[in-house]
Chains A and B, each alone.
Chain A
């Protein structure tokens, strides 16, 4: 399954990289090319999610779960892969819901920010995948320069977990409150 996973991960990575580029163009450039990117973005995002699901499932089959969860590198790979999936799921839902309006006003900056976060996380996922197969890159040195050595499991203290959850809840509440006020 290891070889199959290596093959399958190219698809979400390719789609996500393409989607990020399309969002950049759609958000920052005017004209027909930008319009084409806005229109074509949703299918790319949907395909990326389908490909990611397949890739992640195949990834879980490479090693026994107890081995994956016992390895710091594998733990980081799983976390960043699922967070990548999370960010691009957000993008897919938002673009699906808004269509081309996703690029109107301040929304495009939200899209752009999410895309940049997503590409950062999935680049990290790929880098860690390289480490897992013994092919390291300088990108992990960059991450180390900014404070995280990929050989250390990425986990946070309990209070930070609480703050993260509170941020999520607060955002949701504020968003829903704004929706009611607007209506």
Chain B
């Protein structure tokens, strides 16, 4: 019996590879899962491609964007008639809207060097404490902002004095934001034109959309004009079946909408867009769509255009021939809103000079695009904000202080993984610590098991391997 035990005991060492093997095949599971209550929804794809081209003539600059999307989302939020009430559907939710509503978008932040950190860290520096959509979002909606607009980076409410903010803006301490929306601007070949300072604001003038809702009456303000659109409303079953496309009357516009008629014979399932698209005015209307922004064969293809010098230097970054700028891009697809977008690292933009993305000079009114794209990888950024990145909790904070660019340290894929893990940081740290401990306990147990067979019995022999 004793001999049998002695024969088996050395093989208890196999307990260690068995335990570590089990750990290997199950690692990474059990923690990361969607949790809408905490504003957590992890996209299926953490990275995606975006292609960009840029060109300019004497007066205008053009950006052409191309990105894959399984299908176009050209509806935003809608009002659905249900038993006498108009019910809103398509509101922003963590992750993809379950009804497939929420418009596709492409956005570009632009700087002329007045915000030096932007060229190194891109959109990360525009995410402050308490930003909307984060698990620890502030009680009021906090949009993108520049870190210098806060007295205390960790306090979203600690805004600088109004005169300081105005001085910052005049000094160019803001980002220009081109913001194309698949529903709220594209139907009229428009783009929203915004800027980021103490918050994300629209440029001066009239926005490309307004809300189609009369709060007092509890009903829409406008409806489709049956004479223009052929119908007073869309049908919910058509939306669910994906039958609403560019040829459908999928948007309300000033010239295609009429005042809402409560006495119309509304039927359950009638759908009216909750937004009215309208012509922009002033600085807010600087950016337009060249041609048509369209989705075809799995790809969006959108070209935006703007005057190089809009004459609105407090709203826009003025561009010049031979100028060098910084840009960062984002895409919303798959019926997502808020922070559930894919973003790029910052890239340099040169007008007629070498840069990551070089805008080529051309003569005439519209560029003739060649099949020569600047390819980027966009990534899901997760919950990483600027206060975290410059804090002691980020090992790279000293690198940021020294001005080391993010791409020198991190790849897009790496940042996407980190962004997801940051959403579960506390749980992962706990589980990682327990995993570490469990491995050590296994080692201790196996070591104890092996002690009886590891005894010095070599007194009378030479210790040759037998």
Give residues in A with beta carbon < 8 Å to B: 26-30, 34-35, 38, 63-64, 66-72, 74-75, 78-79, 82-83, 86-87, 89-90, 93-95, 97-110, 113-114, 117, 134, 146-149, 151-161, 163-165, 167-172, 174-179, 181-182
**In the complex, A108→B464 CA distance in Å?**
11
On whether the beta carbons of B10 and A106 are closer than 8 Å, the reply is yes
Interface string of B410-430 (1 = CB under 8 A from A): 000110011001100100110
Residue ID in chain B nearest A179 by CB atoms: B452
Q: Which of B160-168, B246-254, B388-396 contacts A (4 or more CB under 8 A)?
A: B388-396
Q: Which of B6, B9, B30 has the most CB of A within 10 A?
A: B9
Of B11, B17, B439, which is within 8 A of A86 by CB?
B439
On whether the beta carbons of A175 and B438 are closer than 8 Å, the reply is no
Q: Which residues of B are found within 8 Å of A160, using beta-carbon distances?
A: 22-23, 26, 30, 438
Residue B204 lies at the interface, judged by CB distance under 8 Å to chain A: no
Q: Which residues of A are found within 8 Å of B12, using beta-carbon distances?
A: 171, 174-175
Residue B29 lies at the interface, judged by CB distance under 8 Å to chain A: yes
On whether the beta carbons of A151 and B413 are closer than 8 Å, the reply is yes
On whether the beta carbons of A175 and B27 are closer than 8 Å, the reply is no
* Nearest chain A CB to B207 CB, angstrom units: 39
**In the complex, A78→B439 CA distance in Å?**
13
Residue B432 lies at the interface, judged by CB distance under 8 Å to chain A: yes
On whether the beta carbons of A86 and B465 are closer than 8 Å, the reply is no
**In the complex, A67→B31 CA distance in Å?**
21
Residue ID in chain A nearest B442 by CB atoms: A168
Residue ID in chain A nearest B439 by CB atoms: A83
On whether the beta carbons of B10 and A153 are closer than 8 Å, the reply is no
Of B8, B18, B432, B434, which is within 8 A of A167 by CB?
B18
Given A105-B10, A175-B12, CB of A148 within 8 Å of CB of B27: yes
**In the complex, A110→B453 CA distance in Å?**
10
Residue ID in chain A nearest B8 by CB atoms: A178
On whether the beta carbons of A67 and B435 are closer than 8 Å, the reply is no
On whether the beta carbons of A97 and B13 are closer than 8 Å, the reply is no
On whether the beta carbons of A182 and B23 are closer than 8 Å, the reply is no
Residue ID in chain B nearest A160 by CB atoms: B26
On whether the beta carbons of A154 and B16 are closer than 8 Å, the reply is no
Q: Which of B14, B22, B440 has the most CB of A within 10 A?
A: B440
**In the complex, A25→B417 CA distance in Å?**
42
**In the complex, A98→B457 CA distance in Å?**
7
Q: Which residues of B are found within 8 Å of A95, using beta-carbon distances?
A: 454
**In the complex, A30→B408 CA distance in Å?**
51
Q: Which residues of A are found within 8 Å of B440, using beta-carbon distances?
A: 82-83, 86
Of B7, B23, B449, which is within 8 A of A171 by CB?
B449
Q: What 14 new A-B contacts, CB under 8 Å, besides A152-B27, A155-B30?
A: A66-B393, A79-B439, A94-B454, A101-B463, A107-B454, A117-B20, A134-B408, A161-B431, A164-B23, A164-B441, A165-B438, A168-B442, A168-B444, A175-B452
Residue B397 lies at the interface, judged by CB distance under 8 Å to chain A: yes
Residue ID in chain B nearest A176 by CB atoms: B448
Q: Which residues of B are found within 8 Å of A38, using beta-carbon distances?
A: 463
Residue ID in chain A nearest B6 by CB atoms: A182
**In the complex, A97→B450 CA distance in Å?**
10
* Nearest chain A CB to B7 CB, angstrom units: 7
On whether the beta carbons of A156 and B465 are closer than 8 Å, the reply is no
Of B30, B393, B434, B436, which is within 8 A of A70 by CB?
B393
On whether the beta carbons of B435 and A156 are closer than 8 Å, the reply is yes
Q: Which residues of B are found within 8 Å of A94, using beta-carbon distances?
A: 447, 450-451, 454
On whether the beta carbons of A167 and B454 are closer than 8 Å, the reply is no
Residue B5 lies at the interface, judged by CB distance under 8 Å to chain A: yes
On whether the beta carbons of A70 and B446 are closer than 8 Å, the reply is no
Of B7, B447, B464, which is within 8 A of A90 by CB?
B447
On whether the beta carbons of B464 and A153 are closer than 8 Å, the reply is no
**In the complex, A95→B432 CA distance in Å?**
30
Q: Which residues of B are found within 8 Å of A172, using beta-carbon distances?
A: 444-446, 448-449
**In the complex, A178→B442 CA distance in Å?**
18
Given A100-B458, A164-B442, CB of A117 within 8 Å of CB of B24: no
Residue B466 lies at the interface, judged by CB distance under 8 Å to chain A: yes
On whether the beta carbons of B429 and A69 are closer than 8 Å, the reply is yes
On whether the beta carbons of B449 and A174 are closer than 8 Å, the reply is yes
Q: Which residues of A are found within 8 Å of B393, using beta-carbon distances?
A: 64, 66-67, 70
Residue B409 lies at the interface, judged by CB distance under 8 Å to chain A: yes
Of B19, B392, B408, which is within 8 A of A164 by CB?
B19
**In the complex, A172→B18 CA distance in Å?**
15
Residue ID in chain B nearest A143 by CB atoms: B24
Residue B401 lies at the interface, judged by CB distance under 8 Å to chain A: no
**In the complex, A45→B395 CA distance in Å?**
32
